[in-house]
Amino acid sequence: MMNSKPQHIIAVLILFVSTIISAESAGDTIGPNQSIKDGESLVSESGIFVLGFFNSSGNTNSRYLGLWYNFSTDVVVWVANRRNPVTNSFDTLLQLTEDGNLIISQNQTSNNNTSDAVNMVWSSNSSNSLGKTNITSPIAKLLNSGNLIITNGADGRVIWQSFNYPSDTLLPGMKLGLDKRTKQEWYLTSWKQPYDPSPGDFENRMDTGGSHELYTAINNTIEVRFGPWNGKWFSGVPRMKTYTDERSTYVDNETVAFYLYNMISADSYARLTVFPNYTLARMVWRRGTGKWISYQSKDECDLYNTCGPNGVCNTQELIYCQCYTGFHPKSSTSWNNRDHTLGCERKKKLDCGGKEDFLLVKNLKIPNTLNSTINKSMDLDNCKVGCFNNCSCVAYAPVYLESTDIIPRGCIMWFGDLIDTRLFNQDGQDLYLRLPTSEIKSTNNLNGKNRKISTTIIIAIVVSGLIILSFFIILIFVIKKKKKENETFVQREGIEIATSEDVNRKWKDELNLFDFSTLASMTNNFSCDNKIGEGGFGIVFKGKMVDGQDIAVKRLSKTSGQGLDEFMNEAVLISKLQHRNLVCLLGCCMEGNERILVYEFMQNYSLDNILFGNNRHKLDWQKRVEIITGITRGLLYLHHDSRHRIIHRDLKAGNILLDEFMNPKISDFGTARLFEADTIEKNTRRVIGTYGYMSPEYANGGNFSIKSDVFSFGVLMLEIISGKKNSVCYQNEVDFSLLEQAWILHKDEKSLIFLDECCLSCSFSKSQVLRFIQIGLLCVQAYAIDRPTMSDVLFMLNSENSHIQEPKKPAFSNDGYKDINISEQVCLTNNAVTFTKLEFR
């Protein structure tokens, strides 16, 4: 940003001075009748955005109310009174009137009168927006997104927001487009000069006709057209698909048409700014880099109508202007002199006599849609027929692409000249150009050889595809058979326990009882050196039996006066739950207040050590699939197959242990029941669980069911796939939790980005990864009723071909483009520690 021009330096210095003065911060809100003075500022809760007064260029003393970043004070992203600067001011004030208007007022001392005249320089005019509704105790607040909003105290409704009045910068969450009903446009206007905020002549706005494309304009003349939205990006800006750290949304329906973007990464701040030097740039600031990185590019072919009517611009060619097939330059002399403004015309006029057909031209930024008709529901065949039957229709194209599978939908028909077409190497759109059959034949003859070759290739592909397909069918058959065998095995275990109908006494005989002193000697007197873990229920020590077998000894935190019978009942129950994906309870001990459980020892400790540690790469995709499947089987057994329905209540990576072969075993199941039995008062209930894994209904109300375990399982599954911990930030506008990342990427069909990059180097099946992520998302859906059961999950994990339901939005996720949110923000990141809270009802 620093420039050698002295004027700039001065301006930057002045800005710097002004923000030093405005270091006096007045929080992030202004109440009714309250005000902030020139020199004071509002700071958003996160500390990122600052609202205050600043000086414009050095030679005038105009003061503006603006918004800038605290880490980059010379970047002003919004200006309130850019048309009405405060001049000759004394006591400039920003105040919120009782009726909900933010006004900038200026105190002019009059020379000939004692009473001073207060001059209103700018008003948000928000009191008009609610019509005749009463506005009471309004509040103005600077949100973390940089949106300054005024809410009506009576009903909390937002009556005005700065995001609706953009200056030269589009921040994440701001809309660029138009409200079709009110005809209000949200668009960007550059500053007049680098340090003069008054509106310049460079704009970025949305077309009000045609297919509502974005474009930039200089003096109201289109400069660069972005091309229509293709479902993922604007077809004239293919580089948008490389913006992996942001998520673009485009809406075009009966009421609105707008574009907006949100950041996926909390570590970067982005803005889209129109500069007075006719540059539109995407600027990104990554935390820790200390500078803005600019993404801008504009070449000859971006400039509107470079090649004239019916010309096609292609930067790959030496002479970048060409004519459409079947067209030639209108004036070959000027064309040869590199003056392409006249464009091209048809070699043969269309006679509309039926001897015409359509030529497919691929990879285009399709022409301007101003002189065209658009029908979003018509399919391509009807589009062709429609265009063919209308003699003045010269071309047609699908409107937008819905997914990566490129399913073209909708219908655009052009009449008249085709303006501003660009040819790309790839990632462009299709257009069908109407031509006399003779013209198409000649182009086909040219390509005849290629066509034959491509047919052979197609046949080869089809044949090999069939072979591969049949191979897979056989494979699936084998796998299914295996799966059936596994299932019967699980069932048999269930039956075995179910038939052992008997009293506790018999079970007691079956459970190993250890002496406290024996355990103490096995664990070196519970020494710290032997400690291998600590959970919500107690500390785990490694011990060695006399025969050399390693054991894990869990010394439960002191429980008061729990009956021996109750404890034994539960311990025996746990010991009876035997499954190869559950940690095996070898015995227990209770003496005095000591309650100790003895488990088999797991060589590879717990999953979180590996998954979130340095050895993450040891878990390749296949291993992760096995771990996920193992956990599924274990949990399924707890939920459905054992005699007692056991809800784990604290399923998390730390409670998945790995044996020497990295087979997963669930631990700590049933322990919650031990504690449950321990409650002193009947109306005291413990919420046992770990934030980040806890389902909303359990975290909020303490209701738990097998579906809250399914939620935890879903989080765990997404963690295993991504190799990242889930940290929970409720309603935070910047941070995205793991669930939201998964959700957003899934929605955008970029789910592969979610996969742990460690897995990318080994082999994995793309479709399997996508399916697993989708299943994970199904498990973390906000409403328990929507979540699958563990048997559904197991089925879905194994069924490669069957259709899986689309997940609904997970819990704790923002809407994506809701710019106003509940102001309360709760951020909980301590998901490493088990959270136990007592709840009184």
Ligand X SMILES: *[C@@H]1O[C@H](CO)[C@@H](O)[C@H](O)[C@H]1NC(C)=O
**Piece of the chain touching ligand X by CB under 6 A; list 109-117, 318-326, 576-584, 637-645:** 109-117
Helix 706-722 crosses helix 621-636 at what angle (to 10 degrees)? 170
**The one catalytic residue among 650, 678, 735, 819:** 650
- Is 650 noted as a catalytic residue in this protein? yes
Pick the binder of ligand X from 7, 123, 331, 663 (CB under 6 A). Answer: 123
* 392 or 442: CB nearest ligand X: 392
419 within 8 A of 305, measured Cβ to Cβ: yes
SS (H, E, C) 547-581: CCCEEEEEEECCCCCCCHHHHHHHHHHHHHCCCCC
Using rule CB under 6 A, residue 116 touches ligand X: yes
The Cα 223–Cα 435 span in angstroms is 30
H-helix or E-strand spanning residue 595: strand 594-600
The Cα 627–Cα 797 span in angstroms is 12
Residue with tokens 């077809």: 235
Identify residue 674 by its one-letter amino acid code.
Answer: L
* 120 or 838: CB nearest ligand X: 120
Using rule CB under 6 A, residue 93 touches ligand X: yes
Q: How far is the CB of 9 from ligand X (least distance, A)?
A: 13
**Piece of the chain touching ligand X by CB under 6 A; list 113-121, 174-182, 644-652, 779-787:** 113-121
Pick the binder of ligand X from 9, 27, 33, 761 (CB under 6 A). Answer: 33
Using rule CB under 6 A, residue 218 touches ligand X: yes
What's the sign of the alpha-carbon dihedral 404, 407, 412, 418?
A: positive
Q: Which positions from 37 through 66 interact with ligand X, judged by CB under 6 A?
A: 47-48, 55, 61
Pick the binder of ligand X from 219, 456, 560, 683 (CB under 6 A). Answer: 219
**Piece of the chain touching ligand X by CB under 6 A; list 11-19, 602-610, 619-627, 757-765:** 11-19
The residue with its CB nearest to ligand X is 47
Using rule CB under 6 A, residue 70 touches ligand X: yes
Among 414, 406, 454, CA closest to 431:
414
- Read off the tokens for 211: 């297919």
Using rule CB under 6 A, residue 702 touches ligand X: no
Using rule CB under 6 A, residue 255 touches ligand X: yes
The Cα 370–Cα 306 span in angstroms is 17
Using rule CB under 6 A, residue 18 touches ligand X: yes
* 19 or 667: CB nearest ligand X: 19
- Read off the tokens for 826: 């709760």
Contacts of 585 (CB under 8 A, 6+ apart): 571, 574, 575, 577, 597, 598, 599
* 418 or 635: CB nearest ligand X: 418
Q: Which positions from 258 through 317 interact with ligand X, judged by CB under 6 A?
A: 275, 277, 279, 281, 294
Using rule CB under 6 A, residue 7 touches ligand X: no
Let me know how long the chain is: 841
**Piece of the chain touching ligand X by CB under 6 A; list 140-148, 237-245, 254-262, 589-597:** 254-262
Q: How far is the CB of 228 from ligand X (least distance, A)?
A: 17
* 89 or 523: CB nearest ligand X: 89
* 367 or 714: CB nearest ligand X: 367
The Cα 326–Cα 434 span in angstroms is 9
Q: How far is the CB of 508 from ligand X (least distance, A)?
A: 59
Identify residue 5 by its one-letter amino acid code.
Answer: K
Using rule CB under 6 A, residue 371 touches ligand X: yes
Strand 550-556 relative to strand 585-591, pairing: unpaired
Q: How far is the CB of 298 from ligand X (least distance, A)?
A: 8
Pick the binder of ligand X from 4, 113, 488, 763 (CB under 6 A). Answer: 113
Q: What are the strands of the beta sheet with 196-206, ordered from one edge?
A: 188-193, 196-206, 214-218, 221-225
How many CB atoms sit inside 10 A of residue 547's CB? Answer: 5
Q: Which positions from 403 through 422 interact with ligand X, judged by CB under 6 A?
A: 415-417
Using rule CB under 6 A, residue 342 touches ligand X: no
Q: How far is the CB of 675 from ligand X (least distance, A)?
A: 40
* 216 or 575: CB nearest ligand X: 216
**Piece of the chain touching ligand X by CB under 6 A; list 114-122, 179-187, 334-342, 524-532:** 114-122
* 252 or 570: CB nearest ligand X: 252
Q: Which positions from 125 through 144 interact with ligand X, judged by CB under 6 A?
A: 125, 132, 134
Identify residue 757 by its one-letter amino acid code.
Answer: E
Residue with tokens 């020497």: 660
Beta strand ranges found along 45-101 (DSSP E): 49-55, 63-69, 72-79, 93-96
* Cross-strand bridge partners of residue 234: 229
* 129 or 768: CB nearest ligand X: 129
Q: How far is the CB of 656 from ligand X (least distance, A)?
A: 36
DSSP code of 163?
G
Among 325, 481, 338, CA closest to 395:
325
The Cα 155–Cα 425 span in angstroms is 54
* 705 or 825: CB nearest ligand X: 825
Using rule CB under 6 A, residue 161 touches ligand X: no
146 within 8 A of 132, measured Cβ to Cβ: no
Using rule CB under 6 A, residue 388 touches ligand X: no
Pick the binder of ligand X from 9, 17, 468, 753 (CB under 6 A). Answer: 17
Strand 393-397 relative to strand 411-415, pairing: antiparallel
Residue 840 has φ and ψ, to the nearest 5°, of -110, 135
**Piece of the chain touching ligand X by CB under 6 A; list 116-124, 329-337, 634-642, 786-794:** 116-124
Distance of CA 191 to CAs 177, 311, 363, Å?
A: 19, 34, 36
Query: Over the range 711-736, which residues count as b (16 or more CB within 10 Å of their CB) and which as e?
Result: bbbbbbbbbbbbbbbbbbbbbbbbbb
* 107 or 525: CB nearest ligand X: 107
Among 241, 359, 226, 190, CA closest to 301:
226
**Binding region:** 554
Residue with tokens 């069939």: 466
The CB-side HSE value for 340 (13 A sphere, CA atoms) comes to 22
Pick the binder of ligand X from 9, 23, 118, 475 (CB under 6 A). Answer: 118
Identify residue 131 by its one-letter amino acid code.
Answer: G
Q: How far is the CB of 355 from ligand X (least distance, A)?
A: 20
* 256 or 662: CB nearest ligand X: 256
Q: How far is the CB of 118 from ligand X (least distance, A)?
A: 5
Size of the site for ligand X (CB under 6 A): 47
DSSP 3-state of 372: strand
Pick the binder of ligand X from 5, 23, 27, 98 (CB under 6 A). Answer: 98
**Binding region for ATP:** 554
Pick the binder of ligand X from 2, 4, 6, 112 (CB under 6 A). Answer: 112
Pick the binder of ligand X from 4, 111, 337, 450 (CB under 6 A). Answer: 111
Exposed, middle or buried: residue 104 (CB in 10 Å: 0-12, 13-18, 19+)?
Answer: buried
| Binding mask of the shown chain, residues 163 to 202, with x at each position contacting ligand X by CB under 6 A | -------------------------------x------x-
The Cα 667–Cα 664 span in angstroms is 10
**Piece of the chain touching ligand X by CB under 6 A; list 17-25, 472-480, 731-739, 786-794:** 17-25
Q: How far is the CB of 236 from ligand X (least distance, A)?
A: 19
Residues that bind ligand X in the complex, under the rule CB under 6 A: 14, 17-18, 21, 32-33, 47-48, 55, 61, 70-71, 91, 93, 98, 105, 107, 111-113, 115-116, 118, 122-123, 125, 132, 134, 194, 201, 218-219, 251, 253-256, 275, 277, 279, 281, 294, 371, 392, 415-417
Residues acting as catalytic residues: 650
